[in-house]
Chains A and B, each alone.
Chain A
């Protein structure tokens, strides 16, 4: 059973546009929600993370929106750039769970 569901599988955005990736979860034990960015042939790099006590977190062009009641969270990339083209993974974890559960990933392509 997929603990974290991520959509869309792929996303094509024009340079300067907004990229939006959505994730949903069911396990209420999750209390930590990071996003990772992965370039081909490289390991995932932590991009931004949020805890459920806040509804939004912004770091530069990257924003996480969190809806606790709906058990959904999303990543918004403002002013998307070709260098943002990568695969993005959402994940969820909890202090009692130890591990992270990953979504299937979204392949983002930003074209000039």
Chain B
């Protein structure tokens, strides 16, 4: 299947700093990308949907000023966690969809805020 790459796989940052996670579709053009957060042993929680060149649409309860999403090209979307706090520590996963309906996921990024 199609490949979606996420980087970094894991990151540790100090409280109050910002961290950026990249999501790239390697072999297809992603018209839409999605960002999820997953807590241990729980389902995927959609944070936001982004279409290339447009502002992201955030789910209710997700702070758009804290979780900045940029979808600047058809192969790259970024999630920036600003002024990170320990409660932001989580597993963040992106997914991407091309022209069809199939949605492929990245490998996820573990964020630990200390």
Contacts and interface: CB of A to CB of B under 8 A. Distances in A.
Label chain B's interface by main secondary structure: strand
Interface in B25-70: 32, 34, 41-44, 46, 49
Interface stretch (A21-29, A36-44, A71-79): A36-44
Contacts of A32: 101
Interface stretch (A12-20, A62-70, A93-101): A93-101
A44 B105 contact: yes
Contacts of B1: 45-46
The contact size tier of chain A is 20 to 34
B43 A89 contact: yes
A43 B105 CA distance: 6
Given A41-B108, A42-B108, A44-B93, A102 B101 contact: no
Contacts of A42: 107-108
Contacts of A49: 102
Q: Name the residue among B34, B101, B106, B107 with the largest chain A CB count within 10 angstroms.
A: B101
A22 B23 CA distance: 31
B30 to A, nearest CB: 13
A105 B108 contact: no
B41 A107 contact: yes
Given A34-B102, A42-B107, A42-B108, A98 B32 contact: yes
19 contacts: A34-B102, A34-B103, A41-B108, A41-B110, A42-B108, A43-B106, A43-B107, A44-B44, A44-B93, A44-B105, A45-B105, A46-B102, A46-B104, A49-B102, A89-B43, A89-B44, A93-B101, A99-B49, A104-B42
Interface of B: 1, 4, 6, 32, 34, 41-44, 46, 49, 91, 93, 95, 101-108, 110
